[in-house]
Amino acid sequence: MTIQDFKAFGLADTLLTALARLDITQPTPIQSQAIPAVLDGRDVLGIAQTGTGKTAAFSLPVIDALLNSGGRAAPKSARVLILTPTRELASQIADSVKSYTVGTKLTHTVVFGGVSIRPQITTLARGIDIVIATPGRLLDLINQRAVSLSSVRHVVLDEADRMLDMGFVRDVMKIVGYLPKERQSLLFSATMPKSIEDLAAKILTKPVRVEVTPEVVTVEKIAQSVYMVPQKAKKHWLIDHLAKPEYSKVVIFTRTKHGANRLSEDLAKAGIESLAIHGNKSQAARQKALASFHKGAVKVLVATDIVARGIHVDDISHVVNFELPEEPESYVHRIGRTARAGRSGIAVSLIDPSERSKLKTIERLTRQTFDIEKTDYVSTGDIEAADRQAPRGARPNRGGGRPSARKPGSGVQGQRRPGGNAGEGQAHAGKPDGQARGRRRRSGAGKPRFAAV
């Protein structure tokens, strides 16, 4: 049953006022199903992908319960615990809780790693009604006796499947061990593999199962396309297409942190300003990058899957899968960064022939078949080596006027970097150019290189 108005839930007037101020008028399907169950005090197992309104589905009824019960948290304690896998998601939930609790005396805080622990210890010492935390930092605070979970009455595990993917299952179970047995437990996940079912069985008691989709599916408003582009030509495809005005705000996903850094550097050499964001970046750097992207100071963000669910910017025009993810579910979360807040969006995947098997698993999960579009990015021999030997600014035009493999401003491959390190394309650092080129020709003879022709 779909409820058309938040008033029908019987939420506190302060919450209804906050929702009206935020211009949130009609509950989403997950909210219609979850909020009544949470208000009844039931444990809930919620299955819904990102962008469906899960945060309000658990935070509104929990805040309502705190308002009705009165009182406040004792020093070094919390009444509500919300666990999330990433710092970005924790911050997003904290922003939502802040907007919902305006005009109340309820307190909340967010704790995660990557920043100093001292301010968090100081804040928790006063006692906090709602604590939003990542597992690792919360355990650090528990071990330092900066917070006790013995007074928690409501616990929420958000993005539970992502927490398991990131290896947090042991930390989560340790945290659950510190919780009182008499509590309300809510678990939300975008997917429901057996590992999540097992976790839910350990944490939840006779839960109400609410589900807005039988399995993860892709958002209908996202136009999805797949292009066959050899791995070595993918950055050239990006350089060509990011110059187009319709690519106004773009998130590019890579599989590895090193790959994100390297791609961001390659784009910078081509005159395309971008920022990389991944787990090795400090929290301050990640927040700064997201803020710059949100404000439009940079139009390209290169990210890994660890932040796929932490990027919440309403006007992202394109999501580009530079490489397909290892887990097919991650594809859904990646492309869900666009087409938010009722908008449409575009998702593009660049696949090397070696990635066909990954595409098949994505097709099985999303229950759709992609037409693979061929491109002009094909094997052309050692075209980049020829470019390096040509005078700067005088690269030959290949393919009857089609764009060359590298854009102006991308630098000369093989040029020495400061400190004597060999640039990309040199065979060995410290070898004279003639020796490097000669060794390359001998060892790489007959091996194709890829570029646009």
Distance CA 150, CA 167 (A): 25
pTM of the model: 0.61
Q: Rounded to a whole number, what is the distance in angstroms from the first to the last CA of the chain?
A: 56
| pLDDT in the model for residue 425 | 34
| pLDDT in the model for residue 207 | 96
Distance CA 303, CA 312 (A): 13
> Which positions ≥6 away from 201 have C-beta within 8 Å?
none
The residue among 160, 189, 211 that closes a domain is 211
The number of distinct structural domains making up the chain is: 3
Residues 452 and 440 in one domain: yes
| pLDDT in the model for residue 55 | 92
β-pair partners for 45? 187, 209
Residues 41 and 15 in one domain: yes
Residues 173 and 227 in one domain: no
| pLDDT in the model for residue 230 | 92
Confirm if 345 and 339 have CB atoms less than 8 A apart: yes
Residues 163 and 106 in one domain: yes
* Per-position pLDDT tens, the chain of length 453: 567 789 999 999 999 999 999 988 889 899 999 999 999 999 999 998 766 789 999 999 999 999 999 889 999 999 999 999 988 889 989 999 999 999 899 999 999 998 999 999 999 999 999 999 999 999 999 999 999 999 999 999 998 988 887 788 999 999 999 999 999 999 998 878 888 899 999 999 999 999 885 444 455 678 999 999 999 999 999 999 999 999 999 999 999 999 999 999 999 999 999 999 887 887 778 878 888 898 889 999 999 987 666 677 778 999 999 999 988 878 888 888 887 656 678 999 999 999 999 999 999 888 889 999 988 765 433 334 434 444 444 443 433 333 434 443 443 333 433 443 333 333 333 333 333 334 434 444 443 344 443
Whether 1 is covered by a domain: the verdict is: no
Whether 216 is covered by a domain: the verdict is: no
The residue among 179, 211, 243 that closes a domain is 211
Residues 21 and 124 in one domain: yes
Residues 265 and 402 in one domain: no
| pLDDT in the model for residue 65 | 97
- The type of residue at 47 is I
Residues 88 and 162 in one domain: yes
| pLDDT in the model for residue 172 | 95
The helix (H) or strand (E) run that includes residue 80 is strand 78-83
Residues 168 and 241 in one domain: no
Residues 285 and 318 in one domain: yes
DSSP type of residue 7: G
Q: What is the CATH number of the domain that holds 178?
A: 3.40.50.300
The helix (H) or strand (E) run that includes residue 132 is strand 128-133
> Which positions ≥6 away from 179 have C-beta within 8 Å?
81, 149, 152, 155
- The type of residue at 244 is K
Task: Give the orientation angle of helix 356-366 with respect to helix 328-335, to 10 degrees.
Answer: 70
Confirm if 191 and 329 have CB atoms less than 8 A apart: yes
Residues 189 and 279 in one domain: no
Strands 450-452, 377-379: pairing is antiparallel
**Which residue range forms the structural domain that includes residue 441?**
378-453
- Give me the half-sphere count of Cα atoms (radius 13 Å) on the Cβ side of residue 190: 28
The residue among 358, 375, 392 that closes a domain is 375
Contacts 24+ apart (CB under 8 A), 351-357: 351/226, 351/227, 351/228, 351/229, 351/324, 352/228, 352/229, 352/230, 352/231, 352/234, 353/228, 353/230, 354/231, 355/323, 355/324
Closest CA to 65 of 42, 92, 90, 89: 42
Distance CA 34, CA 54 (A): 9
| pLDDT in the model for residue 202 | 94
| pLDDT in the model for residue 217 | 47
Residues 69 and 147 in one domain: yes
- Output the six-digit token pair for 292: 């710059």
Residues 160 and 32 in one domain: yes
